[in-house]
């Protein structure tokens, strides 16, 4: 995904947190990422979209590199 592409909100209206309250079972975002979504610029949203895809694919048993974390405040560079 390139920063010039519009990134839509990943929410799919299945708003349930996992047992550890770390991420939404529907969109795979953390509570911090959900709260900061409207403050993110297009590049940050694109980076998060890639991270969410990594999180989804990591839930399926397969070999692969671990997902890169976001910065402490939930935003990327």
Mean pLDDT throughout 11-18? 91
- Could you give the number of structural domains in the chain? 1
User: What pLDDT digit, counting tens, does each position of 26-63 carry?
Assistant: 999 999 999 999 999 999 999 999 999 998 888 754 44
Q: Distances from the Cα of 71 to the Cαs of 12, 17, 44, 63, in angstroms?
A: 24, 21, 11, 25
Q: Within a domain: residue 76?
A: yes
Quote helix, strand, coil % in the chain, to nearest 5. Answer: 35, 5, 65
Q: Within a domain: residue 2?
A: no
The domain containing residue 16 runs over which residues? 9-77
Q: Within a domain: residue 40?
A: yes
The reported pTM is: 0.71
Q: Within a domain: residue 29?
A: yes
């Amino acid at each position: 995904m390139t920063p010039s592409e519009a990134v839509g909100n990943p929410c799919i209206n299945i708003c349930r947190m996992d047992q550890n309250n770390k991420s939404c079972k529907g969109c795979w975002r953390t509570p911090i990422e959900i709260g900061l979504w409207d403050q993110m610029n297009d590049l940050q949203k694109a980076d998060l979209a890639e991270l969410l895809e990594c999180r989804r694919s990591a839930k399926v048993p397969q070999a692969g590199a671990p997902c890169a974390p976001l910065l402490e405040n939930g935003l990327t560079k």
